Structure formats: structure tokens, C-alpha cells
Amino acid sequence: MICVNTVPGAQNLEDRCKGVSDGITKEGGKSTELPLPASAFGDPTAVAEAIKATLIRDPTINGVITISAGDANSAATGIEQASMTGKVQLASFDMDGTGLDRIKAGTQLFAIDQQPWLQGFLAVTMSDAFVNYGLALATGPVLTGPGVVDKSNIAATAAGAGAGYR
């Protein structure tokens, strides 16, 4: 598996790729980081071309995970252009509507959902309730994820996105 990092040097993203590598290595697999140059950040064509070239150079790669939803869209293009759809599984951190559609269609295995509503809005709402009204959490801590979105829960996730909660 390759972990595509379009912002090498950003610690949180380096940690994502390291976590992927640690997990896969523990299960007997192999993962390497594909660090792209800073000029590729935000350039879907550059990201897709780099992934396509990597897959063509190394036909043993059977998985691609990206650090963001936008990069997953580029990865899907790169996988398709390398004629490796069905052979190479795609996954991502974060998600967007296109990624949800790929999960529904079976062309993306999963997305790791950072659950921003829980991480941001819920925390602010609970803090406001505590400061302004003295309301305390019934339990602590409130675990906010991340969650994994795959075929088992894509319908509920898509419904939440359609209602504006994701």
C-alpha cells in the first residue's frame, strides 16, 4: 500500500501515514509513504499523475490511501488511468460526496471520518452550555471518533450528508 502525502513535513499528516504503515506492518503487509512535492498540493492532475506513475512502476501495489478527500478523488483518477481499477483498493482520510459515491459503488473501500461536527460544533455547544447555564456533561469524555465509513454504514452517512450534518 502507498500512503499519498501531498503535504510532507506536516506532522499530523506524517502521523496518518505512519499509523497506516504501523497497522499494515503489524498484520504482515507493507506500506510506504508517497511524499509529493509541495507544488503538487492542490493540483489534482499532478497528484493523479504521480499515483498513476507509481502504480505502473510497481504492479505489486494493491492499495492506496490518501490524506484527504480531494487527494482521494485524484487517486481514483490515477488508479483508473493506470488501468488498475479493481486491482488497487482506494481508501482515504476524510470524505466528500464523490468519495461517498465511490464507497456506495464499491470503488472505494472506506473513508476515515474525522467527524468534524462532533470535534468542533459539539464541543463549542457543550462549553457554551457549561459557561452560560452551568450544565455539565453527563459523562466524560465524549469520544468523537474518528469513525470508519464503509459499505456497512454508507447509507446512514450519505443521509447525514444530504441533511447537512456532515
Whose cell is 472505494? That residue is 108
- What CATH number has the domain bearing residue 44? 3.40.50.2300
pLDDT in tens, 48-93: 999 999 999 999 999 999 999 999 999 999 999 999 999 999 999 9
pLDDT in tens, 31-41: 999 999 988 99
12 lies in some domain: yes
Domain count, the chain: 1
9 lies in some domain: yes
Compute CA distances 115 → 129, 154, 156, whole Å.
21, 14, 14
103 lies in some domain: yes
pLDDT at residue 124, rounded to an integer = 86
Residue 94's domain spans which residues? 2-115+146-162
**Global model pTM greater than 0.75:** yes
131 lies in some domain: no
